[in-house]
Structure 1
Amino acid sequence: MFISKTILHQTASVIPAKFIQLIIGISQGWLSPTLNTLRYNSNSNSNSGLSLNTEECSWIASLHYVGRIFGPLISFLLLDKIGRKNLLILSSIVIFSTWIIVWLTRSVRLIYIARFVFGLAVGTTDTVIPIYICENSSSNIRGVFNSILIAFFFLGEILAFVFCTYFEYNTVAIIHVAIGFLIFLSTFLLKETAQFFILNDKYKKAEKNFFWLRGYEANTKKEFEDMKLYLSEQKSKLSFELLKNAEIRKCLRIALISNILILSSGFTAINTLVSIVIPSIDTITSNELTILLGLFQFVGVCMSSYSIDQFGRRPLVLIAAGISTVTHIITASLYYVEEHIEQLPHFAWLIFVSLTTYSVTVAMILLPLSRTIRGEILPQNIKALGCSLTVSLSSIISFVISKIFLLVSEEYGMYVNFFIFSLVSFTLIIYIYIDLPETKGMTLIDIQKFLKK
């Protein structure tokens, strides 16, 4: 009964964060079918009054990544001043506001602005949510919670795929405004972390929140006292001064490189433009195939949420990176043969299977573990800076990949993109094998003690 109660409390504390991931997934999923529909106004089921060329599509697909570069700066400056909860509330307000812009405007430039501002909010939440989850969760369920968050992201994408495929542009925008407003209201139920209160010398509030989440027992009391001692030593040090410490630089290096390589393996571009990448099959449109791919992603993440904390971080990432490498090589080969040698039978189905395998693998393993790794491995006094740098640099990579993906495809061929992605995935295998420590099952304090050794 005790375990069930504490898990219930911890689950309740992250539900609003899951809803934020849902609206982010909706906002991300909106891109692929919408751009496919509005590209040269190729489909008549839109009342948007917009007709987009390749250049405009590439900007709309990538501009939110520019915002994500600067969003973490907001997190770094405010994370330990106004708290994790308040930052997430502000982000939800911004996301809700961007859908009002999309609903009311028919200007491509205003859509550019809306996507950039949306990126600011996503960059903030990408920095804050892993910290919030890891600080409010027990060591045995951190990975599960991050996996469930990813599941909500893909659930949001599926909803957007369906809405954009079967409803008109204006109707979709109104639906998204309504969902965004409800999710904004839910964020007031977030539970501020004990770590934030301790860093601001609010020990009674920290104790109240911590024991509500973890229960009041001997092991949790010891963990709380260890955390107070650890944070009291950490908060007096400036983040930039810590970069002189070799151990701190190692933690920062692992968080940065692992996350950057995962996102550089092509997921951001593929997920944003999948309706354009996958050809239509007989009577099944590319938008409908995108819905099917999204369903596979969602089911995969739901399955992984029950098992991701049963295995080590290192072997799971190595397996996923291996699958990513192989599927990209297969996709590049299929496109090369189709474009330069001969038409392949069942080409569209083969592309669909290869991309779905890759996307499901990333959704099940790499995305939840990338968040978990940076939330676990960074020390408290470098966490805001480290997470901010990680998200900003990852966003730069994501922007470049998403911006040039269509342009490279038109100029050199689709296969070139996937050949590059396969090289990045292979590099990820080598790096994880060499540098990533195993952190499964450790408390955040134990991880730092382990890394110092």
Structure 2
Amino acid sequence: MPSVAREEETGVKYSYTEVSSFQISEVNTRNMSPEPVKTGRIFMAAVAANLSAFVVGTCLGWTSPIGPKLKTEDTSDSPLDRPITSDEDAWISSLIAIGALIAPFVAGPLADRIGRKWVLLSSSLFFVLAFGINMGASEVWILYLSRLIQGFGVGFVMTVQPMYVGEISTDNVRGATGSLMQLFIVAGILYVYAIGPFVSYMALQWCCIVVPVIFDAIFYFMPESPHYYAGKGRKTDALRSLQFLRGQSAEGVHNEMAEIQSSVEEAMANKGTIMDLFKNPGNRKALFICAGLISFQQLSGINVVLFNSQSIFASANTGLDPAIATIIIGCVQVASSGLTPIVADRLGRKVMLLTSASVMTVGLTALGAFFYMQLVVGDISEVVWMPVPALVIYNIVYCTGFGPLPWAVLGEMFPANIKSAASSIVASTCWTLGFLVTYFYPALDALGSYYAFWLFAGFMVVAFFFVLFVVMETKGLSLQEIQDRLNSKRN
């Protein structure tokens, strides 16, 4: 059959073999050497999708440089005519989590209805609107509204992006591509950490608003998930998408396309509901693992660190400019997150999570000890150096373990028929705890910062044993093999 170049509605040109239906003519593939998969194309699509995670990072890191501008008595670089109170500061930091915990219940069903790609593209509307509102904010409640809208965008991305990346990836690179989310989130955080302290309030909003526009311009040209197309009965579109992602001919992707089609047809025949997450033992186990990992991610106190880095360093009084210390932390996050895609499919998820939990415990305990000595002992001259290395260690192991891997595991744990429902529940669990931790941190901080950091350290001890005894290793397993393991089936 002749090879024809056609252009999909997205504008991407795919090279594929013309077929009258999905069924490809029988080929004696046993006598043919398999076509190599061009994983560079998978990573290209995954990187484009993860530009949305970069936008999420700008929202998460936004309060760190903006908080000091809003709290100071000098309001010349603040949109408000007065400094904000500590309670208002808590709401500004935490309201993003409220939007993010509601949005998944909209984003999940939309991903099944209009596609993963278009839900991700639509997330930019929330981000552009929110940063635009920030520019005209004159009252605190307007900033509340902006953070809530940002949360909707964050919820859309965090729900659908793991689905998209998990579905476009091959088994041998899924850990690496799934780990890219954390890298791009911390890169977005570093972006605002590095710019925010040195530009005006208004200039930072412009710097942030341009990022989702760039994401849309690039991701528009990427293919939709072949799983989504197959689920909609668009078999030729699914084949073309898979050919583009694998860089192979129609014959080369035949077996994988057949597996996808079979999996999707089975899922459609057994259309799942939220109740199926609890009725089926394998789904129940997967939900327990994913919700547990996401919960411990938030209970590590990461949002407290991200939202308040500059304030933490200011209160530590280390002698290092808080803005510079925060940039150092941001650089560490990006560098360590860059390691995860390289080693995730070599070391395995479980080893990296166990290492992350244990070393984060050490970093948080040390940070708590510093603040205890500062408040109770008074003389901290011998340990004034401690906060920076403690937070550096904490961020390194967070960004190689509990930061990226819970989302990577979420993208591969559930069958297609309930993946959107499961993603919605897990993402909402994440942001419910994110809101509670962020909102109540100032109250704990008022009692003594060491209370909060030692509490987070205690949660990480529990997380270590949770990973050790509950979490299943998924390194190198296909999506079907993961389901077999969850349902206690062995090949």
Scaled to the shorter chain, the TM-score interval is: over 0.9
Match of 1:190 among 202, 222, 233: 222
1:238 matched to 2:272: yes
1:224 matched to 2:260: no
Q: Name the residue aligned to 1:340.
A: 376
| More off after superposition, 424-433 vs 441-450 | 441-450
Q: Name the residue aligned to 2:25.
A: none
Moved over 6 A (4+): 2-5
Give the TM-score of the pair, scaled to structure 2: 0.87
Match of 1:61 among 70, 86, 93: 93
Alpha-carbon separation, structure 2, partners of 1:184 and 1:103: 22
Q: Name the residue aligned to 2:142.
A: 110
Q: Name the residue aligned to 1:445.
A: 480
Match of 2:209 among 177, 181, 184: 177
Q: Name the residue aligned to 2:452.
A: 417
Alpha-carbon separation, structure 1, partners of 2:128 and 2:399: 25
- Return the letter of the residue paired with 1:407: A
Alignment check: 8 A CA contact 1:281 1:349 kept: no
Alpha-carbon separation, structure 2, partners of 1:210 and 1:113: 41
Q: Name the residue aligned to 1:376.
A: 412
Cα distance, 1:427 vs structure 2:
0.9
- Return the letter of the residue paired with 1:208: R
Alignment check: 8 A CA contact 2:223 2:241 kept: yes
Cα distance, 1:169 vs structure 2:
0.7
Q: Name the residue aligned to 2:288.
A: 253
- Return the letter of the residue paired with 1:432: V
Where in structure 2 are the equivalents of 1:282-321 lying within 5 Å?
284-321=320-357
Cα distance, 1:145 vs structure 2:
1.8
Give SS of 1:140's match: coil
Alpha-carbon separation, structure 2, partners of 1:228 and 1:122: 31
Cα distance, 1:134 vs structure 2:
0.6
Give SS of 2:228's match: helix
CA shift in 2, pair 1:257/1:50, >3 Å:
same
1:152 matched to 2:218: no
Q: Name the residue aligned to 1:429.
A: 464
- Return the letter of the residue paired with 1:274: S
Cα distance, 1:217 vs structure 2:
7.9
Alignment check: 8 A CA contact 2:58 2:191 kept: yes
Unaligned regions of 5+ residues in structure 2, if any? 1-33
- Return the letter of the residue paired with 2:161: I
Where in structure 2 are the equivalents of 1:7-22 lying within 5 Å?
7-22=39-54
Cα distance, 1:212 vs structure 2:
1.9
Alpha-carbon separation, structure 1, partners of 2:208 and 2:311: 23
Cα distance, 1:118 vs structure 2:
0.7
| More off after superposition, 102-111 vs 178-187 | 178-187
Alignment check: 8 A CA contact 2:64 2:306 kept: yes
Where in structure 2 are the equivalents of 1:30-109 lying within 5 Å?
30-41=62-73, 49=81, 51-109=83-141
> When the two structures are aligned, how many residues end up with a matched partner?
451
Give SS of 1:115's match: helix
Q: Name the residue aligned to 2:170.
A: 138
Cα distance, 1:147 vs structure 2:
2.6
CA shift in 2, pair 1:217/1:82, >3 Å:
closer
Q: Name the residue aligned to 2:195.
A: 163
Q: Deviations over 1:354-394 (max 9, x none)?
A: 12211221112221111111111112112111111011011
Give SS of 1:94's match: helix
Q: Name the residue aligned to 1:408.
A: 444
Q: Name the residue aligned to 2:400.
A: 364
Give SS of 1:349's match: coil
Percent of matched pairs sharing the same residue: 22
CA shift in 2, pair 1:3/1:223, >3 Å:
closer
Match of 1:208 among 240, 245, 261: 240
Alpha-carbon separation, structure 2, partners of 1:394 and 1:283: 35
Unaligned regions of 5+ residues in structure 1, if any? none
CA shift in 2, pair 1:62/1:347, >3 Å:
farther
Question: Once superposed, what is the RMSD of the aligned Cα atoms?
Answer: 2.1
CA shift in 2, pair 1:437/1:106, >3 Å:
same
Alpha-carbon separation, structure 2, partners of 1:391 and 1:358: 23
CA shift in 2, pair 1:331/1:181, >3 Å:
same
Q: Which has the larger radius of gyration?
A: 2
Alpha-carbon separation, structure 2, partners of 1:168 and 1:401: 29
Alignment check: 8 A CA contact 2:103 2:156 kept: yes
| More off after superposition, 36-45 vs 400-409 | 36-45
CA shift in 2, pair 1:447/1:218, >3 Å:
farther
More helix by share: 1
Alpha-carbon separation, structure 2, partners of 1:4 and 1:174: 44
Alignment check: 8 A CA contact 1:317 1:366 kept: yes
Give SS of 2:386's match: helix
Alignment check: 8 A CA contact 1:165 1:288 kept: no
1:322 matched to 2:358: yes
Cα distance, 1:43 vs structure 2:
8.2
Give SS of 1:51's match: coil
Cα distance, 1:133 vs structure 2:
0.5
CA shift in 2, pair 1:52/1:219, >3 Å:
same
| More off after superposition, 4-13 vs 286-295 | 4-13
Match of 2:428 among 392, 399, 410: 392
Alpha-carbon separation, structure 1, partners of 2:82 and 2:226: 48
Q: Name the residue aligned to 2:300.
A: 265
Cα distance, 1:150 vs structure 2:
1.8
Alpha-carbon separation, structure 2, partners of 1:347 and 1:403: 29
Cα distance, 1:211 vs structure 2:
2.3
Alignment check: 8 A CA contact 2:363 2:390 kept: yes
Q: Deviations over 1:140-168 (max 9, x none)?
A: 22222233332222121111012211111
Q: Name the residue aligned to 2:156.
A: 124
CA shift in 2, pair 1:48/1:185, >3 Å:
farther
